[in-house]
Amino acid sequence: MFKRLPRRQSTSSSLALTAATPTSVVPSLAPLPFQRSNPQVIQLQDVDLLSDLVILVMGATGGGKSTIINILAGGSCETPIIPINSTLEPCTDFTVVRVSSSQGTLCFIEVPEMKDAPFSQLYQRYNVIGIIFIHKVIDSRVSGELLRDMEEIKRCCNEDPLLASHIVCITTHWTSDQYDDDQELCIESQLMGSDELWGRQHREEGLVFKRFALEKPREVVDVLDHLLERERLPGKVISKECKEDEVWASRDWKIVVAMGMTGAGKSNFIEKAGGIVRIDPNAHLLESRTQSIQAYKVHINGHKLILVDTPGFNDTHRSDYEILKTIATWLESTFRHQALVSGVLYFHRITDNRMSGTAVSNINVFQGLIGKGLVYRNIKIVTTMWDHDLKGVGDTRENELREEYWGQMTKGGASVVRFHNTHESAKEILKSFRTDWHIQQALQLQVEMVKHHHQLKETKAGQLMYSKLEQLLSEHNELLNRLRKEGNNRYTAHPDYVRLMESLKEVQRDMAVLQLGFGSKLKVFFTKR
């Protein structure tokens, strides 16, 4: 399937193969306005998802993609970085050239015309800062493969209009350095004006056209200047899940830990912030989505963050003690490897119309875990579910929470922020940490477990968890007595009784683990002194 453009006079084969013949070597250039060095051809899988700045070079076979990459990467007539294809056979593999520059590490990825790799996959996977799309101005038709790529790019532009300003369309194979051939100008006009091709809308949004002839290589260099000068795409976020040892080794990354009750929106926030898509069949259910610690490296507009998703209290499958133990083990291990936390996010649903005893106990445990002092400045209390119908009580409820329940933290420097369930909102919350990034302080639980050699039950958080379980045990016993009074001799068959007894056994088991013996009490007492 082809989109036809105005027919032109037949062109000599030498012109038709300008970018594909052995004579199409890279012209020597005067010094470029930016510094680049150490060009090397690498494999696609070796492109660093987070640190490499990627420019995709796409277009028709024989259009001059390799020639343009050679010029941009600093090749010369004598030593082209990548060989120019001297046959009419289309290239079927990606070619990647990495080069160091004053702007960062650049990777030029040549995308074969016939490669079944949708643009959106490349755009989402890599830290793409620009797209160079090449058209042969001598072609009177556009192939179905190119139309597919163009449609994919335009679809992404419709989702993010700012992307258009990061696209440069280069027309090649001009027959003279004066660019005055009527047929070629007519084809260029069709490419620029036809809505079936690039169209006016995307040009108005910033997409630009450039012309390239070997006699004027400087114009290609101007293309790179143009792309490097573009402001990074605000919605462009690169993220990847990372293992625990990667967290320890990433000294120049800022660790931000998300905590709170199950269903408060921790996982959703991290997904919105990092553009992370996790296929979760239970996402619509009122169940915990996070059963273990999950860390994600997220690169947002030059900020290197490690977002840590933790299991929430009031989990549907695990006790609060087990959740605390999971979080404590991770924090202890992180501190032992000298990786300090730069920020903590505590999540709370603004839709909750009351603060239950369990919710208050969870705040107490959280405060016991983090400690006091300067660390409060690195805490954001994030209220979620603002996109629900709050019937005008959201502001009042937030003020009440701020004064009555979060007062100790806010007076110490913690701030209350709203998450509006969008990427922009998540990004603004994370950006608000920037002024206090330098305050990297160990949390109280980390100091207790590593420096004071306490067991979890001997820590402040562990003791507060024990107090919470004592309260829960009292509530369970009251409910049990009520069932006995209301159910006469048949209360043991009541469904609530069965669930209550299971929960009661779980609470008693966890209390036995957290109960301090005489030796532990002495140890805690003298440590406090």
* CA atoms of 478 and 472, how far apart (whole Å): 10
Interior/surface letters 218-241, b for 16+ CB within 10 angstroms, e for the rest? eebbebbeebbeeeebeebbbbee
Six-digit token string for 116: 């079944």
d(CA 500, CA 91): 67
Give Cα 329 distance to the centre of its chain: 25
CB atoms within 10 A of CB 117: 14
- Interval 489-525: pLDDT, tens: 666 666 677 778 888 888 889 989 988 876 776 666 6
**CB-facing half-sphere around the CA of 13: CA atoms within 13 A:** 3
Please give the domain boundaries of the chain with CATH numbers for all domains: 38-229 (3.40.50.300), 237-460 (3.40.50.300), 471-527 (no CATH)
As separate numbers, helices (DSSP H) first and strands (DSSP E) second, the chain gives: 18, 16
* Residue 170: strand, helix, or coil: strand
Residue with the larger pLDDT of the pair 11 and 195: 195
Q: Which tokens belong to 75?
A: 């090749």
Q: Say what the pLDDT of residue 481 is.
A: 81
The distance from CA 431 to its chain's CA centroid, rounded to whole angstroms, is 14
Query: How confident is the model over 379-408, as pLDDT tens digits?
Result: 999 999 998 877 788 899 999 999 999 999
Q: Residue 356 is encoded by which pair of tokens?
A: 């239950």
- Determine phi and psi for 368, rounding to 5 degrees: -65, -30
pTM, rounded to two decimals? 0.62
DSSP string, 468-519: HHHHHHHHHHHHHHHHHHHHTT-GGGSHHHHHHHHHHHHHHHHHHHH---HH
Read off the DSSP letter of residue 198. T
Do 340 and 247 meet the contact criterion of CB atoms below 8 Å apart? no
Q: How far is it, in rounded angstroms, from Cα 216 to Cα 466? A: 76
- The pair of structure tokens assigned to 199 is 């169209």
Confidence of residue 420 (pLDDT cuts 50, 70, 90): very high
304, 247 Cβ separation under 8 angstroms: no
Q: How many CA atoms lie within 13 A of 234 on its CB side?
A: 12
pLDDT band of residue 9 (cuts 50, 70, 90) is very low
